[in-house]
Amino acid sequence: MKIAILALQGAFEEHRQTLLKLGVESFFVRNLSDYQCQKDGIIIPGGESTTILKLLNDLNIFEPLKQDIENGLPVFGTCAGLIMLDDKHLGTMDITVKRNAYGRQLGSFFFEGDFDGIDGKIPMTFIRAPFIEKCGEGVKILSIVNGNIVAAQQERQLVTAFHPELNEDLRVHEYFLQEVVKVN
């Protein structure tokens, strides 16, 4: 199995390290030729969604990525990656997102919470995080923190408002591999 990691900004190296700990091969996507390599799924890390959107368009990755996700490519979006899948950006996931919902950098926080499909509390690091304001019928809510939706899944798309790659806990990435990419 090989997972692509969009490496335009954000914690892409941390996602790679997490996948390495799970014994999963990965590669960085920095241009269209990287994107065109064989992959079993893709991770869109955090960063700044406006910048990511601009770079996806400038690098001619936006349309192929959108089409591949619509055709079933498994995708995991964290923080800004969550925003990229919403109804205003790639539009592949039936969600409406509130950007920077917890405020500026000073509004960043850590929480241990429940995640449907994972036993026990998981560590959640929120950095200028969004949350999901509204989900369509096909979206399964996986985690709610302080009344806000912070993780969800729609078919082969998984999103978290928090950064699981910034903690030692591997279970959210395992969930992505087992429940979204569907590796046994």
Residue 174 to residue 32: CA distance in whole angstroms: 27
H/E run at residue 113: strand 109-115
Radius of gyration of the chain measured on its C-alpha atoms? 15
Beta carbons of 159 and 152 less than 8 angstroms apart: yes
Question: How far, CA to CA in Å, does 179 sit from each of 76, 110, 171, 173?
Answer: 11, 25, 11, 10
Cβ atoms within 10 Å, residue 60: 11
Please list the active-site residues.
79, 163, 165
Q: Residue 60 gets which letter from DSSP? A: T
Q: Output the six-digit token pair for 120.
A: 């026990």
Q: Which of 90, 16, 13, 152 is nearest to 2 (CA)?
A: 16
154: β partners: 157
